[in-house]
């Protein structure tokens, strides 16, 4: 068997001092690749495994150094504005260092589980004092099962609390193997109606709901339900009642519900990839979030707004 530390995976960010991805202070490792295509995706750079070029137009001073540096002739200055022809860009990174104002960045790289573990261990003291640990997020944790298992095993063997954030869309054989090394599952509930789920994410919710019941009853893992709350999509009383009913009937009263208000971070990332922002809605009001929370709590569940 390959030793755990040398297993490789694709990672687009490692964020320390995270307080929204599980209990205590955590390090969140964001993995590349996702089987869903949520309209409101907050991490559009994570959809595929390939690295991506970010261009921060607001920093650019139009010096043209990147144009000269690109081996593929992908960059041009048109009417004083720098444009990258994404069909010619292979994210080689040659334009990053010549830029004097750090307006260009490659997001997504190959790392070994050992490298990730070393980074996670740096904050071990904070985990101990705050009840925190490591959280694998994405993208989708289940898309890179061997790498996820290697990182989680290394952490668990070092006594570090482990959590995964997941959309739950994977074969149970894959999911169940990862769960052996997981202390807490942060599970996304995007819509309780399968047709609406497909409309917003590209897939129905049958497998996802089947899996979450297995996570809770078969694998016997603690589950926190995470509901990205998207105005005009899933922020209805009907959807919240369906959620409350599902959790109380199919799972248990210890499942805490987190209602996560939509925010605009994903839009600026889409702009950094020089793509058109196709989805944008207002952030839900505090009063509306409270109404939704009250509906979930009417089922006797503990519901909070935020992570
Ligand atoms: S990442 Fe490479 S191919 Fe893409 S624009 Fe920069 S230099 Fe050109
Ligand atoms: S090198 Fe940087 S500042 Fe200069 S044109 Fe390119 S992106 Fe803009």
Decide: 125 in ligand 2 pocket, CB within 6 A. Answer: no
Mean per-residue pLDDT pooled into runs of 10, the chain (307 residues)? 89 95 97 95 91 96 97 95 96 98 97 98 96 96 97 97 97 97 98 98 98 98 98 98 98 98 92 93 96 98 95
Ligand nearest 95 Cα, by number?
1
Tell me the HSE value of 227 on the side-chain side, using a 13 A CA sphere: 29
Ligand nearest 81 Cα, by number?
2
pTM, whole model, 2 decimals? 0.93
How many residues belong to the chain?
307
Burial of 177 (0-12, 13-18, 19+ CB in 10 A): middle
DSSP bridge pairs for 259: 227, 305
Choosing from 55, 59, 66 the residue with most ligand 2 atoms within 8 A of its CB, the one to mutate for a pocket test is 66
Please name the residues in contact with 58: beta carbons below 8 A apart, sequence gap of 6 or more. Answer: none
Q: What is the DSSP string of 75-133?
A: EEEETTEEEE-TTT-----TTTTT-TT--EEEE-EEEEHHHHHHHHHTTHHHHHHHT-E
- pLDDT at residue 265, as a whole number: 86
- pLDDT at residue 2, as a whole number: 65
Give the residue whose CA is nearest to atom 3 of ligand 2: 60
- Tokens read off for 275: 């793509």
75 CA from centroid of ligand 1 (Å): 7
- pLDDT at residue 307, as a whole number: 82
Decide: 94 in ligand 2 pocket, CB within 6 A. Answer: no
What domains appear along the chain, each with residue ranges and CATH number? 12-49+108-305 (3.20.20.70), 54-105 (3.30.70.20)
Ligand nearest 88 Cα, by number?
1
- Tokens read off for 59: 């920093």
Give the residue whose CA is nearest to atom 3 of ligand 1: 89
3-state DSSP assignment of residue 292: helix
CA of 65, closest atom in ligand 2? 1
């Amino acid at each position: 068997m390959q030793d755990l530390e040398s297993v490789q995976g694709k990672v687009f960010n490692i964020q320390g001092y995270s307080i929204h991805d599980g209990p205590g202070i955590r390090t969140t490792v964001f993995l590349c690749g996702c089987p869903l295509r949520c309209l409101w995706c907050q991490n559009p750079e994570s959809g595929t495994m390939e690295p991506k070029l970010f261009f921060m137009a607001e920093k650019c001073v139009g010096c043209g150094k990147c144009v000269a540096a690109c081996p593929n002739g992908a960059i041009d200055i048109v009417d004083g504005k720098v444009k990258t022809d994404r069909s010619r860009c292979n994210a080689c990174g040659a334009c990053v260092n010549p830029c004097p104002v750090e307006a260009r960045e490659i997001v997504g790289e190959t790392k070994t589980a050992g490298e990730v573990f070393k980074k996670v261990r740096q904050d071990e003291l904070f985990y101990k004092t705050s009840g925190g640990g490591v959280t694998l997020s994405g993208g989708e944790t289940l898309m890179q099962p061997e790498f996820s298992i290697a990182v989680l095993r290394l952490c668990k063997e070092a006594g570090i609390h482990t959590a995964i954030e997941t959309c739950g869309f994977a074969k149970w054989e894959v999911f169940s193997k990862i769960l052996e090394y997981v202390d807490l599952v942060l599970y996304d509930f995007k819509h309780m109606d399968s047709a609406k789920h497909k409309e917003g994410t590209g897939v129905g919710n049958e497998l996802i709901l089947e899996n979450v019941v297995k996570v809770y009853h078969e694998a016997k893992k603690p589950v926190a339900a995470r509901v990205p709350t998207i105005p005009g999509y899933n922020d209805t009383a009907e959807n919240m009642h369906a959620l409350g009913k599902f959790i109380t009937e199919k799972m248990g009263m210890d499942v805490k519900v987190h209602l996560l208000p939509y925010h605009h971070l994903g839009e600026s990332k889409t702009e950094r990839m020089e793509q058109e922002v196709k989805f944008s809605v207002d952030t839900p009001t505090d009063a509306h979030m409270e109404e939704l929370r009250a509906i979930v709590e009417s089922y006797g569940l503990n519901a909070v707004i935020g992570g």
